Amino acid sequence: MTASTTTRATEIVLPGPVEPDELQVRARDLPPPGQGQVVLRMEATGVSFAEQQMRLGKYYDQPPFPFVPGYDVVGTVVATGPGVDSALTGRRFAAVVKTGGWASHLHVDAADLVAVPAGVEPAAAETVLVNGVTAWQMLHRSASVATGGTVVVLGANGGVGSTLVQLARHAGLRVIGTASPRHHDAVRALGATPLDYRDPALYEKLRGLAPDGVDAVFDHVGGDGLKQSWRLLRRGGTLVNYGSASTKDEKGNALLPLLALFGRLWAWNHLPNGKSATFYNFWAGKRRIDAFRARLAGDMTQVLRLIANGAIEPQIAARIPLERTADALRLAESRTVLGKVVIVGGTT
């Protein structure tokens, strides 16, 4: 396809803070790709916690309505714009786009494309884009736990959590993972010791499993439990906080609970007890875009390779066609799934 051709695209639009049933399906002619862009034919995208919050208008970096959600995407290049090597056409890539992925075709900056290794199917790759990079960077850049250490992963059944458990096991760490009892067998199969996060004796049990403290806790729940996560650390240990799921339903500005978190982490970090606390942000460093892209591509490639060689198993909760995106969102929000709900595209 030449750069001047338009492409008919089907897009899923979030018109405002609505129920999943009220998502809109729109067909439109996608203009030819601009300078430095490609048209990607979507093969897999997905639902993460971010889209669940965006649907409610409560994402910390909420895009203005109406918009097409879809944080990350896997697809094949079908057209290239000016300044882009036309040899990319026909090749499969992944990208983290923050919005726009819930579409049959979309424009993506060629500089954001990361090659998907041969043999990795689109839905499998999709499970480790934003989730895989988040898990990898928290484990290897924020915490850096030496082989043989012990870590705690809250939400071990989630999209990020189930990948993090596997990356930690692959790095030779002992993992304790929290999840609802319905997921305990699966969490055990990933290599972690499961505990119920609703158990009132959770922290007692965690201390029982690691009486000398743990090397890292990965906490996306925040709230009052964050103090308990901090207390679990041994001297030299790291608390990596990366969200505030416990306050997700609170009314008001979605940034306020995060600001409270930052204050807490900052204060703990200055205590003379050898522990450290950090907030992980996927988009940190984005202002230095070349360095950001290089780090992102390098880390995503590492995780995709682990999928390619079977070292980690993609956790696909379901595959749902684009036109049934409302079902995908409902399923992801049901709080019953393990891994990532993947939305799949067509073949043309």
Secondary structure (3-state) at 174 = strand
Q: What residue spans of 171-288 are helical by DSSP H?
A: 184-189, 202-209, 225-232, 255-269
Question: Does an H or E element contain 279, and which?
Answer: strand 276-279
Q: What angle do CA 191, 128, 197 make, to 5 degrees?
A: 45
Task: Please report whether residue 99 would count as binding ligand NAP according to CB under 6 A.
Answer: no
Considering only the stretches 8-16, 79-87, 228-236, 241-249, report the one whose residues sit in contact with ligand NAP under the rule CB under 6 A. Answer: 241-249
Task: Please report whether residue 335 would count as binding ligand NAP according to CB under 6 A.
Answer: yes
From the list 32, 101, 161, 237, which residue makes contact with ligand NAP (rule: CB under 6 A)? 161
For residue 201, give the nearest of 228, 227, 240, 162 by alpha carbon. Answer: 228
Site for ligand NAP in 1-30 (CB under 6 A): none
Task: Please report whether residue 144 would count as binding ligand NAP according to CB under 6 A.
Answer: no
Site for ligand NAP in 289-308 (CB under 6 A): none
Considering only the stretches 99-107, 109-117, 239-247, 267-275, report the one whose residues sit in contact with ligand NAP under the rule CB under 6 A. Answer: 239-247
Considering only the stretches 185-193, 243-251, 258-266, 305-313, report the one whose residues sit in contact with ligand NAP under the rule CB under 6 A. Answer: 243-251
Q: Report d(CA 258, CA 276) in Å as an integer.
A: 18
From the list 45, 134, 193, 229, which residue makes contact with ligand NAP (rule: CB under 6 A)? 134
Phi, psi dihedrals of residue 109, rounded to the nearest 5°: -65, 130
Minimum CB distance to ligand NAP, residue 339 (Å): 7
Task: Please report whether residue 197 would count as binding ligand NAP according to CB under 6 A.
Answer: yes
From the list 160, 173, 216, 306, which residue makes contact with ligand NAP (rule: CB under 6 A)? 160
The residue behind tokens 């090659």 is: 115
Please state, in angstroms and as integers, the Cα–Cα distance from residue 42 to each residue in 11, 18, 180, following that order.
11, 24, 33
Instruction: Compute how many residues bind ligand NAP; rule: CB under 6 A.
Output: 24
Considering only the stretches 112-120, 237-245, 265-273, 297-305, report the one whose residues sit in contact with ligand NAP under the rule CB under 6 A. Answer: 237-245
Taking the least distance from each CB to ligand NAP, the nearer of 132 and 345 is: 132
For residue 296, give the nearest of 120, 29, 72 by alpha carbon. Answer: 72
For residue 296, give the nearest of 282, 276, 314, 275 by alpha carbon. Answer: 282
| Residues at the contact surface with ligand NAP, assessed by CB under 6 A | 48-49, 130-131, 134, 155, 157-161, 179-180, 197, 220-221, 242-243, 245-246, 280-282, 335
